[in-house]
Chain A
Amino acid sequence: MYVELKNINKTFNGFQASRDVSFGIEQGQLVGLLGPSGSGKTTILRMIAGLEYPDSGDIIINGVRVNDIPASKRGIGFVFQSYALFRYMTVYDNIAFGLEVQRSRKADIRARVAELIKLIGLEGMEKRYPHQLSGGQRQRVAFARALAPNPQLLLLDEPFAAIDAKVRRELRAWLRETINKVGITSIFVTHDQDEAIEVADEIIITNAGQVEQKGSPVEIYKHPATPFSAQFIGQSRTVENYAALNGFEHVAGFDRAIVRPEFIDVEKRGKRLMFESAAETGVVESIFFRGNLSELTINLGGTRIIANRALEAEEVAVGEEVSVLIYRLYLYNDSAVRLAENVLIRDVNTVFI
């Protein structure tokens, strides 16, 4: 493990922001810390950087316990949520700052800054001040500034939060590529699951100061380990009385279930070719155009669920009764999650969407 946190606790004036946090990160990985607002993501990042000190527990970087090493000596690159560019310095001086602090030779500084400016694609903008840059450009300067002194670990706090949706997509891809190219171990914070799933090699889900689950995006998606993960990931909706659904039986100890759009198939009534007996009848309550598909809210005997329907499929209308086939559910209680398949679908040839 390159970075390791062991039983970290942190309290701010009686409020526990980190609760027994433990995880490890392999060298060269790009890890996403994903969790709702206030779940303690920034706190974890700041403790790794040395901007905040844990009350108990160990932080180990590259085999060395760094708890008592000040931030300035840890050799970590940090990209702030607000970028925190030095506003009275030019792009060049911003990027050169860390190198000047290290008293590198002038020529080396110039070469390194030029290299980074090329990397972030801002050639010709060296003399600009941060307020003369767009949000995306600022973000990239912040990134270059953090990389300049060749840190062994890069921490990014919501690197895309302040950027509009379209540019964010481009930057995500760019960041992923660039980090791979540089080969630096990186941890980034986000509360956007699409972002985490798209960018990260590994995702760590945080909730209320605790680590809920750590795994690859696919694992997190397919095998939520805790009720929180199951609810947090995907467009999950809770179904209270799941035993009433066709094909599902009550499992002792599990009173509620989660259903995601990708577990659901919607057909017009009478058009379903197979498993009609395994399906339910629901009423379309609203239709929401999502660009590449439509999102339907369907009332299933009082429970609202969300389903997706391809744009090419025959249109359904609000108020229409439709046939709803639920392939599977995540059953959960306060401490556990388990998968339940629709028992009326026995045909192994079924292709799930």
Chain B
Amino acid sequence: MKPKAVKKSATKYILIALAVLFIAVMLAVPLATVLVYALRQGWDTFAAAIVDPYAIKALKLTLTAAGTTVVLNTFFGVFASWAITKFRFRGKQILTTLIDIPFAISPVIAGLVFIYVFGRIGWAYPFLQAHDIKIVFAVPGIILATIFVTFPFISRELIPLMQSSGTDEEEAAALMGAGGLRIYRKITFPHVKWGLLYGIILCTARAVGEFGAVSVVSGHLRGKTNTLPLHIEILFSEFHLTASFAVSSILVAMTVVILVLRNIVEYRVKREERSH
């Protein structure tokens, strides 16, 4: 290995340099710019933009939407991956493909779908109207759109893990008379827990930052249906540049926290894999 590594070192450094350069230009500089612009007019302006009631409402809505989404998607992801990996049934392939659709489809289309279903022109509108339920241009719509865009994350993490664990251990447990829930709790879950957490983190990151689909269904009602990304966009289009960057820095901070968590989990996953 060693002599080869020395010979290849030029290639190695060029590749590393390119990667670093790319990340610097595409990621580090823009992120730093966010902070620089946010603090350009001093701390007070920054703080004012952040404690602005609309910003706080937007943050709360973002957290609510992301939180609800993650909980529901976790349930969905766990059950879907369980069904797909542990049972044989007709249409499994189709189900597996359908789960991936949100990854392939533009979020704007996802948003439009909800407008066509639940909006004024949608087929479910008369029913919703009759029961006084508001979905589009309201919080439920935002949550639905976020769920739609992020639901593959968790099952995509879990499916390969559960496939690789095979059905042997589950079969062994079933032979000894264990029921489905005990099998999941004692055997399947310990095997996938870090993967699940990883999926939850990815899902959270995406849910917090979702713009396209949410933008379509939100209606941009300030203080009502504005999430953080939407709020930032509005500030920006109204030329409140500093404020928009200040609020952006909240999102950046959240992302950093999520990234750190992600790395911790990833480290744990690797360690588990090594020891089993």
User: Judging by beta carbons under 8 Å apart, are B175 and A97 in contact?
Assistant: no
Per the bound structure, the CA–CA distance linking A97 and B175 in Å amounts to: 11
Interface residues contributed by chain B, number (CB under 8 Å): 19
Is A28 engaged at the interface, CB distance under 8 Å to the other chain? no
User: Judging by beta carbons under 8 Å apart, are B275 and A71 in contact?
Assistant: no
Is A76 engaged at the interface, CB distance under 8 Å to the other chain? yes
Q: Which of A83-91, A119-127, A160-168 contacts B (4 or more CB under 8 A)?
A: A83-91
User: Judging by beta carbons under 8 Å apart, are A86 and B176 in contact?
Assistant: no
Per the bound structure, the CA–CA distance linking A76 and B182 in Å amounts to: 19
Per the bound structure, the CA–CA distance linking A73 and B175 in Å amounts to: 8
Per the bound structure, the CA–CA distance linking A339 and B169 in Å amounts to: 48
Among B172, B182, B186, the residue within 8 A (CB) of A78 is B172
User: Judging by beta carbons under 8 Å apart, are B177 and A98 in contact?
Assistant: yes
User: Judging by beta carbons under 8 Å apart, are B175 and A87 in contact?
Assistant: no
Per the bound structure, the CA–CA distance linking A82 and B174 in Å amounts to: 16
User: Judging by beta carbons under 8 Å apart, are A98 and B176 in contact?
Assistant: yes
User: Judging by beta carbons under 8 Å apart, are B190 and A88 in contact?
Assistant: yes
User: Judging by beta carbons under 8 Å apart, are B177 and A88 in contact?
Assistant: no
User: Judging by beta carbons under 8 Å apart, are A86 and B187 in contact?
Assistant: yes
- Per DSSP, chain B at the interface is helix
Is A101 engaged at the interface, CB distance under 8 Å to the other chain? yes
Among A51, A82, A85, A102, the residue within 8 A (CB) of B175 is A51
User: Judging by beta carbons under 8 Å apart, are B276 and A97 in contact?
Assistant: no
User: Judging by beta carbons under 8 Å apart, are A84 and B169 in contact?
Assistant: yes
Per the bound structure, the CA–CA distance linking A319 and B176 in Å amounts to: 60
Query: What bracket does the count of chain A residues touching chain B fall in?
Result: 20 to 34
Per the bound structure, the CA–CA distance linking A87 and B174 in Å amounts to: 16
User: Judging by beta carbons under 8 Å apart, are B275 and A97 in contact?
Assistant: no
B70 to chain A, nearest CB (A): 25
Within 8 A of A (CB), among B177-197: 177-179, 182, 186-187, 190-191
Closest to A84 in B: B168
User: Judging by beta carbons under 8 Å apart, are B172 and A101 in contact?
Assistant: no
Within 8 A of A (CB), among B188-219: 190-191
User: Judging by beta carbons under 8 Å apart, are B182 and A101 in contact?
Assistant: yes
Is A307 engaged at the interface, CB distance under 8 Å to the other chain? no
Is A72 engaged at the interface, CB distance under 8 Å to the other chain? yes
Is A131 engaged at the interface, CB distance under 8 Å to the other chain? yes
Determine the chain A residues whose CB is within 8 A of the CB of B275 once the complex forms. Answer: 131
Within 8 A of A (CB), among B73-124: none
Query: Given that A84-B172, A86-B173, A131-B276 are known contacts, is A97 also in contact with B178, CB under 8 Å in the complex?
Result: yes
Is B52 engaged at the interface, CB distance under 8 Å to the other chain? no
Is A247 engaged at the interface, CB distance under 8 Å to the other chain? no
Closest to B272 in A: A88
Within 8 A of B (CB), among A305-321: none
Is A32 engaged at the interface, CB distance under 8 Å to the other chain? no
Determine the chain B residues whose CB is within 8 A of the CB of A23 once the complex forms. Answer: none
Determine the chain A residues whose CB is within 8 A of the CB of B179 once the complex forms. Answer: 72
Closest to B191 in A: A88
Is A232 engaged at the interface, CB distance under 8 Å to the other chain? no
Query: Given that A89-B186, A131-B275 are known contacts, is A101 also in contact with B168, CB under 8 Å in the complex?
Result: no
The 5 closest A-B pairs by CB, nearest first: A84-B168, A98-B176, A88-B190, A72-B177, A84-B172
Q: A51-B171, A84-B169, A131-B276 are in contact. List 11 more A-B contacts (CB 8 A).
A: A51-B175, A72-B174, A72-B175, A72-B177, A72-B178, A73-B177, A84-B171, A86-B169, A88-B191, A101-B173, A149-B177
10 A-B pairs whose Cβ atoms sit less than 8 Å apart in the complex: A49-B175, A71-B174, A72-B178, A80-B168, A82-B168, A84-B172, A87-B191, A97-B173, A131-B276, A145-B172
Binding site for B on A (CB under 8 A): 49-51, 71-74, 76-78, 80, 82, 84-89, 97-98, 101-102, 131, 145, 149
